[in-house]
Chains A and B, each alone.
Chain A
Amino acid sequence: MTALVVDALTVAFGRFTALDAVSLAVDPGEVRAVIGPNGAGKTTLLDVISGITKPVSGRVMLGDRIDLTKRSEVEIARAGVRRKFQKPSVFPALTVRENLEIGCGPALPARDRPDRIASVLGEIGLGPRAEVPAGRLAHGEKQWLEIGMVLAAEPALLLLDEPVAGLSDAETAQTAALIRSLRRPDRAILVIEHDMGFVEAIADRVTVLHEGRTLYEGSMAGARAEPRVIEVFLGR
């Protein structure tokens, strides 16, 4: 069984084809990185998986059973998919704790929430900031809070869109450690990232997208050796 299968996915905006018959499969427990230059279609891929964008054709199967392209964002989230957006998307009017409470999702009973929130607060290291409105957090703290929000629901598939964009080196290293600690046999993680060092540190395999097509799939070391990848991405 695979955690996530993307099958011949095509997405178009007007006349522009953002994704052109892209396919990939992620195993449970795997951390997969999707890399590629700007405009390669990486964020669009996540938009389709999380239900924000509907494709022209193709399927996205979650755990062999559910075709995500036929579901709404809400149904997809309830099926265990969580996404961290590129721009930190936290609720500024709510405190860190309240953000995490919402992150627990509607399914978790109220009495189980305090424990879950406490454990996530520990994981993301925002315990002392729990009562601060999220609007007042620093950029890095917002990134972690959002990761915490998506973790609070214990997702089976975690989508991370540039989780270290705009972070300092120290913060990037911390984030990499955090993501490595999130690996579980029953959880697949799909990361989009530009930072090659970061990708190398966390990913089992990488998929390279270019102009809406899959250019390469395999190990990071293999990607570094692949001439076409070097040409469009690494060697620019």
Chain B
Amino acid sequence: MADPLRALLALLCCLALLTVPAAAAPLDRARFAADLCGDGAAQVRGAEGLVQAGGDLPADDLAFAGGLLGALAERRLSCPADGALLLDRPDAPEGHDAFTGAVRPAAAARAPILGLRQRAAVETARGTVALLTGPDPAARAAGLAVVERRIATVPAAVLDRARDAETDAGLKATITGLAQAAALSSPDPARRRAAIAAVAASPSGTAQARLAALKNDPAYAADPAFRTALDTGLATVSRAVAIGDGLAVVYNGLSFASILFMAAAGLAIIFGLMGVINLAQGEFIMLGAYATYGVQEAFRRLAPGLLDLYLLAAIPVAFGAVALVGIGVEALILRHLYRRPLMSLLATWAVSLFLVNLVRVTVGTQNLQFVMPAYVSGGVPLYADFVMTWNRLFAIAFAAATLVLTLLILRRTPLGLDIRAVTQNRDMAACLGLPTRRIDRLAFGLGSGLAGLAGVALCPIYSVNPGMGSGFIVDSFMVVVLGGVGSLIGTLVAALGVGGANVLIEPISGAVAAKVIVLVGIILFLQRRPEGLFAVRRRR
């Protein structure tokens, strides 16, 4: 016990001796230049000394050292009897004096060679300088990458200084993580325990893995204080990660349910009204996504500066375009099939086949590329690994807005009143003089338009291609079946149920099992309530 401690103390003293003088005084530039011009051992001494002192050196010293190190690495360093020359290119006849900047001939000077053994130390020193003084995040990130390779030789002070000075959030987080990792393997027990606590304070899956790896560390068996600290830290992190993952599942389920709701709401309105299931609803969603793409391309041509707004501009365009397609389909085809609901299944399937192949032939089968505006890219890390991504939040907010608007349309507008009247009793509504055919057409347009909106919401999340409609259309049928006829709230609850069940079961037993369980669940549910969740009991 005593021997290792003493050794540690000795090591600490050495470190202190190395760093403290440097902190007290600025860089001894002449000595540094001489070291780099010296033999291999001197070069390593100079480079490592700089790294050790790096946390406290003034910026101009770092810049001076960086120039010399760069010249050495690139064979542009020339060493006359006194001082050092920086050449513009290797073997140039003259160069600038490193101290005075004056031009001097390099003919009589010796060009020091950087050996393979010394290169690592020199590169680390260059990386340190770049990390601390790089002009832009890219340069600093490159420096960090070099430093990371030999992180054990870099003192904490360098990383701390880099972290404190860093302005780029991403890079700052990376530096922090690296500093913690370095501290976790530090020889100082107190520092290690502090690092464990620090890691545990910002829990994530990486932090969990990092701490779990420490269980194999000899200190875990040997040092009770270390073990306690690690166990506590690990427990905290594990719990937080579990909660974060749970939140992520709920969040993903919510966004999936939002898409399902938007796909199914239109279906449910149409089904409630006309008893028709539109098998082309998936293709209407696809059309909505393609309309969004069209708006993006129009913005790119006409108003590139406003490109970021295309997603918002696409909302009315997609709704209108797909609603028009729906009205066309209703007027040309479905109008003739109201007394033949099973045939309308075949007819709408034919429409879907037609639309998929039309898009395939005219636009192509490849996935469309979308520009992601700032408001749908990235996200804000909320808790542990749970990042609230903007694209999914966009879909959720979109679905909520759609729900509210659709409810308003159905409850507060004359069209909504007509739709509800015809849904509940078509013959009676017709007797009262309602133009049921016109209402059918408008409602079909509304339902189709909702599919178009689902297409807009999908663009930032899923890939967009002609066949995308078939992907979740079966799920949205199940939502309609489960939700019952003519109840938007039923559709919402069913969408949350089906979406949530899919996302909840998926991590446990796989995507396929999730679908099987949902289907079996729905069939079992229909045993109890054949008319769905919220259907009102009606007379035959």
Contact = CB atoms under 8 A, between A and B. Distances in A.
Q: Do chains A and B touch in the complex (CB under 8 A)?
A: yes
Given A12-B537, A13-B538, A44-B539, 5 more contacts: A13-B537, A13-B539, A43-B539, A47-B539, A53-B540
Interface residues of B, number: 5
Contacts of A52: 540
Contacts of B537: 12-14
A44 B539 CA distance: 8
B353 interface: no
15 contacts: A12-B537, A13-B536, A13-B537, A13-B538, A13-B539, A14-B536, A14-B537, A18-B539, A43-B539, A44-B539, A47-B539, A47-B540, A52-B540, A53-B539, A53-B540
Nearest to B536: A14
Closest 4 CB pairs of A and B: A14-B536, A13-B537, A52-B540, A14-B537
Contacts of B538: 13
Interface in A49-84: 52-53
Interface in A95-147: none
Nearest to B537: A13
Nearest to A18: B539
Interface of B: prevailing SS: loop
Nearest to B538: A13
A76 to B, nearest CB: 15
Residue of B536, B538, B539, B540 with most partner-chain A CB within 10 A: B539
A131 B24 CA distance: 118
Interface in A1-29: 12-14, 18
Interface string B523-538: 0000000000000111
Contacts of A43: 539
Nearest to B535: A14
Contacts of B536: 13-14
Interface string B96-137: 000000000000000000000000000000000000000000
A62 B539 CA distance: 23
A52 B540 CA distance: 8
Contacts of A13: 536-539
A47 B539 CA distance: 9
A52 B536 CA distance: 16
Report whether over half of chain A's contact residues are helix, strand or loop; otherwise say mixed: mixed
A12 B538 CA distance: 9
B464 to A, nearest CB: 42
Interface in B318-363: none
A13 B540 CA distance: 11
Contacts of A44: 539
Contacts of A14: 536-537
Contacts of B539: 13, 18, 43-44, 47, 53
Nearest to A43: B539
A14 B484 CA distance: 14
Interface in B375-429: none
A89 to B, nearest CB: 11
A134 B537 CA distance: 32
Interface string A142-165: 000000000000000000000000
A52 B539 CA distance: 9
A192 to B, nearest CB: 14
A13 B538 CA distance: 6
Interface in B497-540: 536-540
Contacts of A12: 537
Contacts of A53: 539-540
A12 B536 CA distance: 11
Nearest to B540: A52
A22 B538 CA distance: 20
B532 to A, nearest CB: 14
Interface string B78-109: 00000000000000000000000000000000
Nearest to A53: B539
A14 B540 CA distance: 14
A192 B539 CA distance: 17
A43 B539 CA distance: 10
A13 B539 CA distance: 8
Nearest to A54: B537
A53 B540 CA distance: 8
A161 to B, nearest CB: 12
A52 B538 CA distance: 11
B421 to A, nearest CB: 16
A42 to B, nearest CB: 12
A14 B539 CA distance: 11
Contacts of A47: 539-540
B533 to A, nearest CB: 14
A47 B540 CA distance: 9
A13 B536 CA distance: 7
Contacts of A18: 539
A18 B536 CA distance: 14
A49 to B, nearest CB: 14
A149 to B, nearest CB: 18
Contacts of B540: 47, 52-53
Interface in B475-497: none
A45 B288 CA distance: 50
B508 to A, nearest CB: 39
A36 to B, nearest CB: 16
Nearest to A15: B536
Nearest to A13: B537
A12 B539 CA distance: 10
A18 B537 CA distance: 12
B25 to A, nearest CB: 89
A47 B537 CA distance: 14
A162 to B, nearest CB: 15
A54 to B, nearest CB: 9
B517 to A, nearest CB: 31
A27 to B, nearest CB: 29
A60 B540 CA distance: 20
A1 B388 CA distance: 73
Nearest to A52: B540
Interface in A187-210: none
B531 to A, nearest CB: 12
A35 to B, nearest CB: 19
A36 B533 CA distance: 34
A46 to B, nearest CB: 11
A176 to B, nearest CB: 27
B345 to A, nearest CB: 22
A18 B540 CA distance: 13
B432 to A, nearest CB: 15
B426 to A, nearest CB: 15
B472 to A, nearest CB: 32
B277 to A, nearest CB: 24
A96 B540 CA distance: 25
